Amino acid sequence: MSQRIILLVLLCLHVTLSFADSVDEDENLLTIGLLQKYGYPHENHTVVTEDGYILNIHRIPRPGARPVFLMHGLMDSSATFILMGPGKGLGYLLYEQGYDVWMGNSRGNTYCREHVKYTTDEQEFWDFSFHELALFDLPITIDYVLQLTNYTNLHYIGHSQGTTSFWILGSERPEYMEKILLMQALAPIAFFEYCKSPIVNFLGATDLTANLVSRLLGPSEFLPSDDFLNMFSDVLCNSSPLGLKLCKNVLFLFAGYSPAQLNETMLPVILSHDPAGASTKQGHGQGDFILWSKRFVGPARRCFQTLLQVAQCGAQISRGLSQIQSFGLHVGHRCT
């Protein structure tokens, strides 16, 4: 009996260590590498926007099936939809449900750092905000997916900034709403009246903190995913219990307290992929949202909110809209 117990314990240890090694490997794999590792079909597609940015789109192909397009949030990438692995990652789940899965990337992130004219060392490359994502990145990507799949419309699932750019697209180019079968908004953001994150509110507390970098120094890369950030995540979030606790609480301050929803094992993997890069003008734009949403009262406030609701919440989707939020979410709003 004792030998059987020992063998069982050794087997459990082997499985646990094998899983840990497998998860650790995911830290160094890009989106296509993750799909390859877990045995899923994969394709990389490239489009060039009207203003010259070269975007990579990642696909889990199921030819002939209804296309669903996933758009990530600020400082994120296509990898976010598959990082949690098969059975948990949204991209995998949708594919298993029979969809043709397309995962977009916005200019300036890990997979979109090329331009027909500028390099990432030039300020001109970073001269964009989520408004440009809406006017240039989304239209050409949606058109490309529909043209390649021979469908007239698709499902759109946006997370955070992926919803913000969608509201702007619907306002500025309402004809694109005819190409959306259903829009599902995960943690939707249009303005910051209900933002409870101390970190985000601090960054938007004054004109100085919201605009200093982009206004004084010009547009540049905001929180790039480089060796320093990777080292920081390794030291803080993958070491001692105290370091892990500190790491978790920083994340909770930013996004909301939800320990039951945080997979500690996956933290090193998540932090190796995020932040994936963005422009300081994107952070500046979010800061402006906070300033205007919280400071103005009376007629000025009502006027500003009306303008925001028209520009960011007023997209006339032809078929349907579904909003999905968390009770513990610190960064978000109620769009009514």
Helix (H/G/I), strand (E/B), else coil: 180: strand
What whole-number distance in Å separates Cα of residue 100 and Cα of residue 108?
25
* Within-domain flag for 280: yes
pLDDT at 324 over 90: no
* Within-domain flag for 98: yes
pLDDT at res. 5: 42
* Within-domain flag for 331: no
What does residue 267 show for φ and ψ, rounded to 5 degrees? -55, -50
What whole-number distance in Å separates Cα of residue 325 and Cα of residue 66?
25
* 35 — pLDDT class (breaks 50, 70, 90): very high
DSSP tag of 43: E
Distance set, CA 335 to CA 26, 149, 164, 194, 326 (Å): 36, 32, 12, 10, 14
* Within-domain flag for 3: no
What whole-number distance in Å separates Cα of residue 177 and Cα of residue 183?
9
Span 35-46, average pLDDT: 96
Higher per-residue pLDDT: 205 or 280: 280
pTM attached to this predicted model? 0.73
pLDDT at 164 over 70: yes
Number of structural domains, the chain? Answer: 1
Higher per-residue pLDDT: 180 or 280: 180
DSSP tag of 74: T
Please state, rounded to an integer, the average pLDDT across all residues of the chain: 72
* Within-domain flag for 4: no
Q: Which residues 6+ apart lie within 8 Å of 320 measured at CB?
A: 181, 182, 183
* Range(s) of the domain holding residue 177: 32-225+274-324
pLDDT tens digits, one per residue of 122-153: 888 888 888 889 999 999 999 999 999 999 99
Q: What is the CATH number of the domain that holds 154?
A: 3.40.50.1820
* Within-domain flag for 82: yes
Residue among 229, 228, 262 nearest 245 (CA):
262
Q: Which residues 6+ apart lie within 8 Å of 326 measured at CB?
A: 187, 256, 258, 261
What whole-number distance in Å separates Cα of residue 120 and Cα of residue 294?
34
Span 16-24, average pLDDT: 50
* Highest-confidence segment of 32-46, 70-84, 161-175, 305-319: 32-46
* Within-domain flag for 171: yes
Check if the beta carbon of residue 255 is closer than 8 Å to that of residue 197.
Answer: yes
* Within-domain flag for 14: no
